Amino acid sequence: MALIAFNELDHALNKAELISYPLSQPSESALFVTWKIKGDLRGCIGTFIPQPTIDLVRKYALIAALQDPRFDPISPQEFKQLDCTVTFLGPLEPIEKDDWIIGEDGLKATFPGNKSATFLPEVALEQNWTKHETYEMLARKAGAMGLSGMKLMKYKGTKDSMDYNEYIKTKQN
């Protein structure tokens, strides 16, 4: 699915031909598309609502690359430096605080005032955060005024990743 995300962004930035690929994932998924350059985040957006997989990958490949409000849009000059990961999300499971494993479980937190945020399973591990630091960062990301009233859900994620060079090799075959 990372191949489809790359191809969609290549088409948007460089007018590359869209290629049809056989569907090898479940027909409906909840997912996030993540773009990085040299390990630095350049965009990550997705949905917890399962929808047709290929449509979601194509949609969120572009939204994450071009419309993530935390970043400037990815430019054509950056395209050759990109890594892409499509993370397929498992079901959300309500949990009590600390009933999750760093690096294994993703977290979705909701706060009073209809505020929410999520971190994919690898984020706390990559950032070397403790569980409490993760809660604080979720609150900050959600725009919440603290941890009071926070409700947590955890989920698993399955990743499909590729970098620009893998994309070009696969596209040529």
For residue range 20-75, list pLDDT tens digits in order: 766 555 588 999 999 999 999 999 999 999 999 999 999 999 999 999 999 999 99
The answer to whether residues 84 and 110 belong to one domain is: no
The answer to whether residues 82 and 115 belong to one domain is: no
The answer to whether residues 127 and 43 belong to one domain is: no
Position 26 scores a pLDDT of 54
- Whether the CB-CB separation of 122 and 34 falls below 8 Å is answered with no
Residue with the larger pLDDT of the pair 25 and 125 = 125
Confidence of residue 172 (pLDDT cuts 50, 70, 90): confident
The answer to whether residues 39 and 71 belong to one domain is: yes
Angle at 123 between CA 55 and CA 163, to 5 degrees: 55
The answer to whether residues 26 and 36 belong to one domain is: yes
- Whether the CB-CB separation of 154 and 107 falls below 8 Å is answered with yes
Tokens for 169, please give them: 């090799």
The answer to whether residues 48 and 99 belong to one domain is: no
Number of independent structural domains in the chain: 2
The answer to whether residues 150 and 166 belong to one domain is: no
Position 8 scores a pLDDT of 97
* Secondary structure string (H, E, C) spanning 34-54: EEEECCEEEEEEEEEEEEEHH
The answer to whether residues 34 and 77 belong to one domain is: yes
CA distance 24 to 30: 15
Confidence of residue 173 (pLDDT cuts 50, 70, 90): confident
Position 21 scores a pLDDT of 64
The answer to whether residues 6 and 84 belong to one domain is: yes
pLDDT in tens, 69-93: 999 999 999 999 999 999 999 999 9
Provide the residue type at 172 as one letter: Q
Position 171 scores a pLDDT of 86
pTM: 0.91
Range of the domain at 35: 2-89+157-172
The answer to whether residues 52 and 35 belong to one domain is: yes
The answer to whether residues 113 and 136 belong to one domain is: yes
The answer to whether residues 76 and 161 belong to one domain is: yes
